[in-house]
Chain A
Amino acid sequence: MALQLKRDYLNQKVLERLSTLELHARLPMIGSVSGKHRSPIRGSSLEFAEYRKYVPGDDTRRLDWRAYARNDRYYIKEFEADTNLRLCLIVDTSGSMGFAQNGMSKLDYARRIGGTLAYIAALQGDAVGLYCSGTEFHREIPPKRSATHLSTVLDELGTVEPSGETGLAESLHEIAERVPQRAMVVIISDLFIDPEVVRNCFEHLRFRKHDVAVFHLIEQNELDFEFDRPMRFVDMEGGEPVLADPTIIGVQYRRALEDYLESMNEVIRSTEIDYHRVCIHEDFGDVLAKFLLGRTPKKV
């Protein structure tokens, strides 16, 4: 029962709705088993990839004798290889992710996004891993394909609590280095970090040939900043509280936020990652549907 409770962030209706969609990687993945994702290594699928000249040592069974008969040259016929992917879910669990509106915190929303994605990935045979990033990694579950592993990931998602300062930048750099092969890295965070720092992280991940997707979670109140009286703002990540009159500094706050979002857009443009700015009052099913559809390869 307790386990059931920990997974109540998964919504059966959303899962059913999204069951017709598949999670596709934008980049070729190197998996351990056959799967639904393109591999950089030629394989034995039915989908023709290319011809290449024969070199000694090639498997003679893959020679195209018809081509030899036509032009008296040896060509090896290569086919695409389909493989599985490693989905690395990186969930920001810093104190700021506990910011809630209407009872739902950003971390709750991150659970729904991450849990649903993990479920979809596991369902199509991909390996799923989870990295919870607070001040430091306080939970790290490497990607695996087993059903019990999914259970572990989902349970962990259900039990993780927000606390401490954010250490997302360090975590991302560490993951970029630690994940040995190409993987799909999905970051779910409010990204309250300097955009230049974020840029470095994304570029590092891209350099390691990871397919990076970001769900940037924002709470509507943080955008509007509408208060009618002076407030004492307590830093959820443990910093000094600030006494301020929103009627005085509201304009400046919004300007600072706008500058930040503009900088973030610039970072996204330059790093070409799959970026989704999500306000947590949005229906997460719609957000995921948009995400998955955006990744579905277009048929030629």
Chain B
Amino acid sequence: MNFLQPLTLIALPLVLLPVIIHLINQQRHRTVPWAAMMFLMTAKRMSKGMARIRHILILLMRVLAIAALIFAISRPLSGGWLGSIGFAKPDVTMILLDRSASMEAQDLQAGESKRSTALKRLAHLLEQGDYGTHLILIDSATGRMQKVDSPKALLSLPMTEASATSANIPSMLETTLTYLKANNTGRADIWICSDLRENDWAVDSGRWEAITEEFAQLEGVNHFLLAYSETASSNLSVRVENVQRWQQGNNAELLLDVIVRSEGNNTAIQRVPIAFEVNKVSSVVEVELDVLGASIQGHRIPIDGTLTSGWGSVGLPGDANPLDNRFFFVFSEPPIRQSVIVSDDAKIGEAFRRALAIPTDNRLQHQTDVISVNKAGEIDWENTGLLIWQAALPTGVVAEQIQNFVNSGRVVIFFPPNQHAGGRFFDSQWNDWQTAEEQPYKISWWRGDADLLAHVESGNALPLNDLRFFKYRAFESTGTTLARFDDDAPLLSRVNSDRGAVYFCSTLPTAQYSSLERDGVVFYVALQRALAEGTYVLMDASQRIAAPDSLADREQWKTVAPEENASSLSERGLHAGVYQDETYWAAVNRSTIEDTAKAALVETVDALFEGLSYRRIDVEVGDTSALANELWRIFLIGMIIALIVEAVLSLPGKKVESSS
């Protein structure tokens, strides 16, 4: 139990007042001559049992009445979870608010989301109590700290509004740690408001160990988790997986791959209308959903042939989470998929050219050039999406140009040079050639869930097991290995980069080195994927995931949709919508994981805070009742009851009639 006026509790010893008065009374007795001693003696004998208990009860009631009065004045708050706080006030209160899209799940009757409910309850609680000298908010969308003037202000800050982002709770706690350490705060209360989504909490991350250790070193830090772990009983989300604009003559159309996911305990098959809106023209398609939802592949929407770029949206009827009921998309004409192969070996260059020149779809235009190293300066960097570099690692101006090429979102794949290895580039360098002595090398492992060697859409793996490798050139790289030979040497690695992609492949496609060209599926698919990724930035439209830096690449963004609640400049990129910078379009939406992630087990989350002062408060969405209620009324009623009981017990027995 916590108290708003804890100093009043100093008066608690006053509860002994009735006992003291009783003892004093015992001492200051009066002497009186008395005639009816025979009744007195009988009464004394009788009073040894129940009467003594009655008198003790009277004293107890008086003690309780005073105690209740003191407690009432000290304004106690309900909530057993507050018990561990003690009476000390925090120096600083930090609020870690999960603004992820999943926090917008609502209680349909109350119309309150998890986020708004958490904010209201927390603001009410802090308003009642003492939140210290500083009230600091860290929101998951921006990850930044902001000092808040008062708990009430929490309800109106842009930083507490809904967003389409995902949360990173470990990162928020690290920010909190940095603040607490830097400011040497004393007692700190940390309130985490979250729906415990696995992706937000990253419970398997190794960061938690370090976070827990560092918090354990701080004294007086209390963690409170407002846990909205309950998932909606029924919720649908919609997402556009792929948008393509095709044109034939004067006719154009959009091809959309749409996924509707069903969450909750829907077992019955239901039909749901899906509203498509393109260029302010709406159409509705009714889709039959099963337990998991539904998938619409290649939904065609005819558009005006002159509309080369634009935006649209897909919407669902209202349900538990309004934020995942609409998905924005943008489209533009597919760019020419241009790639450049830099190689001094004509045969090898031709192998690359063949794989890149054949388009995956006849409607796409591919352009592939093979040039020698000494002509690298003539590369059309602006319109090229993929660079194949099969030569010594570049230096000087070319190296700088390649760096810029990657930073602009394009893709480079380095293949081993036949002779001179060159220096170090992208923290990687070529070593010596390795030759298979008896048996050719095989692939022992590759990453099939993502990147160039990912399984195909049907779920089947690429036939990497069929490949044979006779020679490879080992390389040193800090990147992530995507495929590995049976001698553990890497075949393909991806170097970490902020934008774009840099790959190192340790062998060449020709028969002298490997069966990549002969068993061409893997070679073709990987190169086409790299080309598609590299030319993606060449489009006049891009789909982006809501994040603080999702629109950081340009400055002149205008909000196109939704018009009804255009976000402020600082919040752009955090909200789902369509933005335009001259002829360039961007659609910002929540990440896929927001639709699919499950809530982590509360026990798992509890375990993360093991050894720390931590309380989890399970709350329900829509429940805006106070986290802690003032209990003085109860104590006042208790006092009145105690006084009434005392009065009843103290009532004298009925008077004896004097007449016979």
Q: Which A residues are within 8 Å of any B CB, using their own CB?
A: 95-99, 106, 190, 192, 216, 218-220, 222-224, 226-227, 229-237, 239, 241-245, 247-258, 260-261, 264-265, 268, 275-277, 279
- Judge whether B660 and A235 touch: CB under 8 Å: no
Confirm or deny: B650 has a beta carbon within 8 angstroms of a beta carbon on chain A.
Answer: yes
The verdict on A252 contacting B47 (CB below 8 Å), with A258-B656, A261-B656, A261-B660 known, is yes
Docked pose: A247 CA to B46 CA in angstroms:
14
- Judge whether A232 and B30 touch: CB under 8 Å: yes
The verdict on A239 contacting B26 (CB below 8 Å), with A224-B655, A231-B32, A252-B46 known, is no
The verdict on A230 contacting B51 (CB below 8 Å), with A222-B35, A254-B656 known, is no
- Judge whether B31 and A216 touch: CB under 8 Å: no
Docked pose: A220 CA to B25 CA in angstroms:
25
- Judge whether A223 and B34 touch: CB under 8 Å: no
Q: Which residue in A223, A249, A264, A275 is a CB contact (below 8 Å) of B655? A: A223
- Judge whether B28 and A244 touch: CB under 8 Å: no
Q: Which residue in B30, B51, B657, B660 is a CB contact (below 8 Å) of A268? A: B660
- B residues 32-72 near A (Cβ < 8 Å) are 32-44, 46-47, 51-52, 54-55
Confirm or deny: B653 has a beta carbon within 8 angstroms of a beta carbon on chain A.
Answer: yes
Confirm or deny: B362 has a beta carbon within 8 angstroms of a beta carbon on chain A.
Answer: no
Q: Which residue in B28, B46, B52, B652 is a CB contact (below 8 Å) of A226? A: B652
Name which residue of chain B comes closest to A250, CB basis.
B652
Name which residue of chain A comes closest to B658, CB basis.
A279
- Judge whether A249 and B32 touch: CB under 8 Å: no
Docked pose: A253 CA to B39 CA in angstroms:
6
Q: Which residue in A106, A256, A268 is a CB contact (below 8 Å) of B42? A: A256
Q: Which residues of A contact B51 (CB under 8 A)?
A: 248-249, 251-252
- Minimum C-beta distance from B57 to chain A (A): 12
The 9 closest A-B pairs by CB, nearest first: A96-B35, A99-B35, A252-B43, A277-B660, A253-B43, A256-B42, A233-B34, A252-B46, A230-B29
- Minimum C-beta distance from A235 to chain B (A): 5
Q: Which residues of A contact B36 (CB under 8 A)?
A: 96, 190, 192, 222, 257
Docked pose: A223 CA to B567 CA in angstroms:
87
Docked pose: A260 CA to B36 CA in angstroms:
11
Docked pose: A249 CA to B35 CA in angstroms:
16
Confirm or deny: B654 has a beta carbon within 8 angstroms of a beta carbon on chain A.
Answer: yes
| B interface: dominant SS | mixed
Docked pose: A276 CA to B55 CA in angstroms:
37
Q: Which residue in A230, A232, A234, A256 is a CB contact (below 8 Å) of B39? A: A256
Confirm or deny: B659 has a beta carbon within 8 angstroms of a beta carbon on chain A.
Answer: yes
- Minimum C-beta distance from B43 to chain A (A): 4
- Judge whether B30 and A231 touch: CB under 8 Å: yes
Name which residue of chain B comes closest to A234, CB basis.
B33
Q: Which residue in A192, A222, A230, A253 is a CB contact (below 8 Å) of B26? A: A230
- Minimum C-beta distance from B56 to chain A (A): 10
- Minimum C-beta distance from B39 to chain A (A): 4
Question: 10 A-B pairs, CB-CB below 8 angstroms?
Answer: A190-B36, A192-B35, A237-B35, A239-B37, A248-B51, A253-B39, A253-B40, A254-B654, A256-B42, A260-B38
- B residues 492-508 near A (Cβ < 8 Å) are none
The range of chain B's interface size is 35 or more
Max chain A Cβ within 10 angstroms of own Cβ: one of B26, B32, B40, B657: B40
Q: Which residue in B31, B43, B657, B658 is a CB contact (below 8 Å) of A249? A: B43
Name which residue of chain B comes closest to A265, CB basis.
B660
Name 5 extra pairs, CB < 8 A, besides A231-B31, A252-B47, A261-B656: A230-B28, A249-B40, A250-B653, A255-B43, A257-B39
- Judge whether B653 and A251 touch: CB under 8 Å: yes
Q: Which residues of B contact A256 (CB under 8 A)?
A: 38-39, 42-43, 46
Q: Which residues of A contact B654 (CB under 8 A)?
A: 254
Q: Which residues of A contact B37 (CB under 8 A)?
A: 96, 192, 233, 235-237, 239, 242
Q: Which B residues are within 8 Å of any A CB, using their own CB?
A: 25-26, 28-44, 46-47, 51-52, 54-55, 650, 652-660
The verdict on A260 contacting B39 (CB below 8 Å), with A242-B44, A245-B26, A251-B51 known, is yes
- Minimum C-beta distance from A22 to chain B (A): 24
Name which residue of chain B comes closest to A216, CB basis.
B660
- Judge whether B32 and A254 touch: CB under 8 Å: no
Name which residue of chain A comes closest to B37, CB basis.
A235
Name which residue of chain A comes closest to B32, CB basis.
A231
- Minimum C-beta distance from B516 to chain A (A): 105
Q: Which residues of A contact B44 (CB under 8 A)?
A: 242, 244, 249, 252
Q: Which residues of B contact A261 (CB under 8 A)?
A: 656-657, 660
- Judge whether A232 and B31 touch: CB under 8 Å: yes
- Judge whether B658 and A218 touch: CB under 8 Å: yes
Q: Which residue in A190, A244, A265 is a CB contact (below 8 Å) of B40? A: A244
Q: Which residue in A223, A232, A237 is a CB contact (below 8 Å) of B656? A: A223
Q: Which residues of A contact B52 (CB under 8 A)?
A: 248
Q: Which residues of A contact B42 (CB under 8 A)?
A: 252-253, 256
- Minimum C-beta distance from A4 to chain B (A): 30
Docked pose: A15 CA to B9 CA in angstroms:
71
- Judge whether A192 and B656 touch: CB under 8 Å: no
Docked pose: A226 CA to B32 CA in angstroms:
13
Max chain A Cβ within 10 angstroms of own Cβ: one of B36, B44, B47: B36
Name which residue of chain A comes closest to B49, CB basis.
A252
Name which residue of chain A comes closest to B660, CB basis.
A277
- Judge whether A190 and B35 touch: CB under 8 Å: yes
Name which residue of chain B comes closest to A243, CB basis.
B29
Q: Which residues of B contact A219 (CB under 8 A)?
A: 35
- Minimum C-beta distance from B655 to chain A (A): 6
Name which residue of chain A comes closest to B26, CB basis.
A230
The verdict on A232 contacting B652 (CB below 8 Å), with A216-B660, A265-B660 known, is no
- Judge whether B35 and A234 touch: CB under 8 Å: no
Q: Which residue in A216, A224, A234 is a CB contact (below 8 Å) of B32? A: A234
- Judge whether A236 and B35 touch: CB under 8 Å: yes
- Minimum C-beta distance from B526 to chain A (A): 98
- Minimum C-beta distance from A239 to chain B (A): 6
Q: Which residues of B contact A218 (CB under 8 A)?
A: 658
The verdict on A277 contacting B43 (CB below 8 Å), with A192-B38, A222-B35 known, is no
- Minimum C-beta distance from A17 to chain B (A): 21
- Minimum C-beta distance from A258 to chain B (A): 5
Q: Which residue in B34, B55, B658 is a CB contact (below 8 Å) of A248? A: B55
Docked pose: A89 CA to B28 CA in angstroms:
43
Docked pose: A28 CA to B78 CA in angstroms:
85
- Judge whether A99 and B34 touch: CB under 8 Å: yes
Docked pose: A246 CA to B309 CA in angstroms:
100
Q: Which residues of B contact A224 (CB under 8 A)?
A: 655
Q: Which residues of A contact B653 (CB under 8 A)?
A: 250-251, 254-255
Docked pose: A98 CA to B36 CA in angstroms:
12
Max chain A Cβ within 10 angstroms of own Cβ: one of B26, B34, B47: B34
Name which residue of chain B comes closest to A105, CB basis.
B35
Q: Which residues of B contact A190 (CB under 8 A)?
A: 35-36
The verdict on A277 contacting B652 (CB below 8 Å), with A190-B35, A233-B37, A239-B37 known, is no
- Minimum C-beta distance from B577 to chain A (A): 79
Docked pose: A220 CA to B74 CA in angstroms:
48
Docked pose: A244 CA to B29 CA in angstroms:
9
- Minimum C-beta distance from B60 to chain A (A): 14
The verdict on A251 contacting B652 (CB below 8 Å), with A239-B37, A244-B40, A257-B39 known, is yes
Docked pose: A255 CA to B47 CA in angstroms:
11
- Minimum C-beta distance from A145 to chain B (A): 33
Docked pose: A230 CA to B29 CA in angstroms:
5
Q: Which residues of B contact A275 (CB under 8 A)?
A: 660
